[in-house]
Chain A
Amino acid sequence: MYKISFPHMGKYHVPIKRLMETLVGEYGEVFAAPPITKRTIEVGTKHSPEFVCIPFKYNLGNFIESLDLGANVLFHTSGDCRMGFYNEVQEQILRDLGYEFKLCILETNARNRSLRDFHAMFKNLNPRLTYAKTISAILLAMRIIFAMDKIEKYVRENIGFESQAGELEKIENEFLRNVAKVKNFLGVGAVYRKYIKRLRAVKLSKPEKPIKVGVVGELYVLMEPFSNYFIEKELAKYGIQVTRFIDVSYLLFSPKHKIKNLLKESDGYVSYEIGADGTDSVAKCVYFAKNGYDGIIHLKPFGCTPEVNSIPIVQRVSEDYEIPVLYFSFDSQTSETGVKTRLEAFYDMLEMKRGTQ
């Protein structure tokens, strides 16, 4: 009996768990790694190389906690930066710690992903799996991801303005619980419509021109709130409207994320791809600058090369368009108070800037 587990990133364990359960059928039990806590990152850091980027440490912590619960098959994804080489090193570290397991890699790079490889990987676990089932499971998972990203986007943009704090999030969580249980493709649409209606019915007290901030940076620290000290929630407390483009549906399926389009959007600030999501960060900064945003927040793990590449270029955009940018670098030593203080100062500055205009 396979006990299958995978690391966390935001709320995506919902569609991933659903996808795997369908594919593995009665041959295995699927569970997401235990929710990330301080212990997760402590354990992960303890066994990680010294200056590897923080997502590695979270992933490793997730794996160790899953293995301690008896997992014997681990799933991970590939990546375009050094993340693409995480797997082999993590596997070696875990084996040196004495764990026994099988590691499977979900290819995310559009160039390398193939339905055949994907199917073969799960067929290995579930001999009765058919192509039809694989395809329908993928489509269902995609549908769920699209729906949850849309819901999350609505929540993100409005959470700073709810009359009664916590209402939107409560509905979102209920949506996630229900969407996990849908029977088929059509069910997702019905659940989505029901909850987006409920979200839209929540009373908001939004000023006519709220302060708008765009968030850019490395995908993991953007999408895993634990790793960025719940920065978006913190921004909401100040009544800031937050825009972020990066989510799983954007990264995996949006034509806007294609390098050709990003280079065009970046308006000459970059002439080539600068690695992983660095190009995206520059392009989106240009977008925010041109579209009247008050400020930009740039998030990255400490030492993330593609995002470090993007910073000098983002600084240039910031100077040219006179748009303030706040930079955060996260590692296991980051202090939560430090993050909050800097955010507060940034907000005060944005407000003052508004006042003088």
Chain B
Amino acid sequence: MGKWRRNTVGGMKIGIPKAFLYYKYQKMWCSFFEELGHEVVVSPNTNKNILDMGINCSIDESCTSAKVYMGHVEWLIGKCDRIFVPRVVTFENGDATCTKFYGIYDIVRATFPSAKLLHYSIDYDEGQTEWKAYKKLGAELGAKAAAVKTAYKNATLALSQFEKDLAEQQENALKADGLKVLIVAHPYNIYDKLMGEPIVRALKELGVGVLYADIPDSMQMCNRSKNLARTMYWQYNKELAGAVDYYQDKVDGIIFMTTFPCGPDSLAIELIVRKVKDMPMLNLIIDSNFGEAGLQTRIESFVDILSAKEKHHV
């Protein structure tokens, strides 16, 4: 019986929506699933079609990032055995995520009742640690405890190596000459091909060095964030706020990029903008019918200001 079960569940095709936490944990998830003998299917880069699918199956007021996520989930339906919809809500240090992440698993369930899902829930407040979540996930996939343990360990290593590489790249970018701009945005917004990439591309075409606020070490940034926001408890926003504090005397300008109507950003950006003095800042709000041309113009004029300011200094 046990053998039969292993045969049916082993070697599954697991679909991962390329949105939300994918941009944080992709290496960990892929490594974990692959090591346990499963095939991973990642949905393609966000395109107009995926966004439209997401808009059509979401309620209007949902944030654009969540609509994009839903579009990716829908794209995966029928293309894999299970769709991986993780739930990450609280962390070891007591911080939390946006409540969107509390609900996303149940939202997907309610929106696509026939879709076969796979998930874990990381919620330290409820005693569900990361390891316990992976252990349960591994068991659900029918893997042996020892194999799950090794896969988890290797997945953790894969993620920290990935993060280290990115941090190194960023340190090098910081040493380069020329104008530098810090982009303060959730990774699922700025690294998204449809929403974030046009911004990065526009900056690079203008010869501006781009730094990302989500890259430096999470714990250090969370500690630093207290200088700007004493009582904030959204871990992902703390990382960004800490990075603003860390980079503010190393860059020429800051671009905030958020999607409409992001709850945590609506307050976090307001506070940072009020606290950081003497720094050119641009706030870009992306919604589901944004125009790239308008975006380009705003970025160009922002960079003009930065160059004018630099010349003035010299």
Using CB atoms and an 8 Å cutoff, list the residues of chain A in contact with chain B.
49-53, 56, 81-82, 84-89, 92-93, 96, 111, 269-276, 278, 302-306, 308-313, 315-316, 329
A49 to B271, CA, bound (A): 9
Interface contact B261-A306, CB-CB below 8 Å = no
- Contact flag A270-B59 (CB < 8 Å), given A53-B263, A278-B99: no
Interface contact B61-A303, CB-CB below 8 Å = yes
CB of B78 within 8 Å of the partner chain = no
Q: Mark B219-261, 1 if CB is under 8 A from A, else 0.
A: 0000000000111111000000000000000000000000011
Interface contact A87-B106, CB-CB below 8 Å = no
Q: B26-71: which have CB < 8 Å to A? A: 58-59, 61-63
A50 to B279, CA, bound (A): 21
Closest 5 CB pairs of A and B: A275-B99, A309-B103, A274-B103, A303-B261, A49-B270
Interface contact A87-B231, CB-CB below 8 Å = yes
26 A/B residue pairs, CB under 8 Å, sorted by A: A51-B260, A51-B261, A51-B262, A52-B270, A53-B266, A81-B263, A85-B264, A85-B268, A88-B230, A92-B274, A92-B275, A93-B270, A269-B110, A270-B103, A271-B106, A274-B103, A274-B107, A305-B63, A305-B98, A305-B100, A305-B263, A306-B99, A309-B99, A312-B58, A312-B110, A329-B61
A306 to B99, CA, bound (A): 6
CB of B162 within 8 Å of the partner chain = no
A310 to B263, CA, bound (A): 15
CB of B269 within 8 Å of the partner chain = yes
Interface contact A52-B99, CB-CB below 8 Å = no
Interface contact A306-B274, CB-CB below 8 Å = no
Taking CB atoms, residues of chain A closer than 8 Å to B271 are 88-89, 92
**Which of B104, B230, B270 has the largest number of chain A CB atoms within 10 A?**
B270
Taking CB atoms, residues of chain A closer than 8 Å to B263 are 53, 81-82, 303-305
Look across to chain B and name the residue whose beta carbon is closest to the beta carbon of A52. Answer: B266
Please give the distance in Å from B36's CB to the nearest CB on chain A. 23
A279 to B133, CA, bound (A): 22
Interface contact A274-B267, CB-CB below 8 Å = no
Look across to chain B and name the residue whose beta carbon is closest to the beta carbon of A278. Answer: B103
Q: What's the interface size class on B, roughly?
A: 35 or more
Taking CB atoms, residues of chain A closer than 8 Å to B121 are 272
Taking CB atoms, residues of chain B closer than 8 Å to A86 are 267
A53 to B260, CA, bound (A): 12
CB of B291 within 8 Å of the partner chain = no
Taking CB atoms, residues of chain B closer than 8 Å to A304 are 263
A296 to B232, CA, bound (A): 35
Look across to chain B and name the residue whose beta carbon is closest to the beta carbon of A317. Answer: B110
A22 to B39, CA, bound (A): 66
A82 to B282, CA, bound (A): 23
A49 to B262, CA, bound (A): 12
CB of B2 within 8 Å of the partner chain = no
Q: Mark B82-118, 1 if CB is under 8 A from A, else 0.
A: 0000010100000000111011111101110100000
**Which of A49, A53, A84, A329 has the largest number of chain B CB atoms within 10 A?**
A49
Interface contact A52-B61, CB-CB below 8 Å = no
Please give the distance in Å from A188's CB to the nearest CB on chain B. 35
- 8 new A-B contacts, CB < 8 A, other than A89-B270, A312-B107, are A82-B267, A269-B106, A274-B107, A275-B103, A302-B261, A304-B263, A305-B63, A308-B62
A309 to B99, CA, bound (A): 8
Please give the distance in Å from B158's CB to the nearest CB on chain A. 27
- Contact flag A273-B102 (CB < 8 Å), given A88-B229, A308-B62: yes
A51 to B285, CA, bound (A): 10
Please give the distance in Å from B44's CB to the nearest CB on chain A. 24
A316 to B285, CA, bound (A): 31
Taking CB atoms, residues of chain A closer than 8 Å to B275 are 92
Interface contact A305-B232, CB-CB below 8 Å = no
- Contact flag A272-B231 (CB < 8 Å), given A81-B263, A305-B99: no
Please give the distance in Å from B199's CB to the nearest CB on chain A. 19
Please give the distance in Å from B222's CB to the nearest CB on chain A. 15
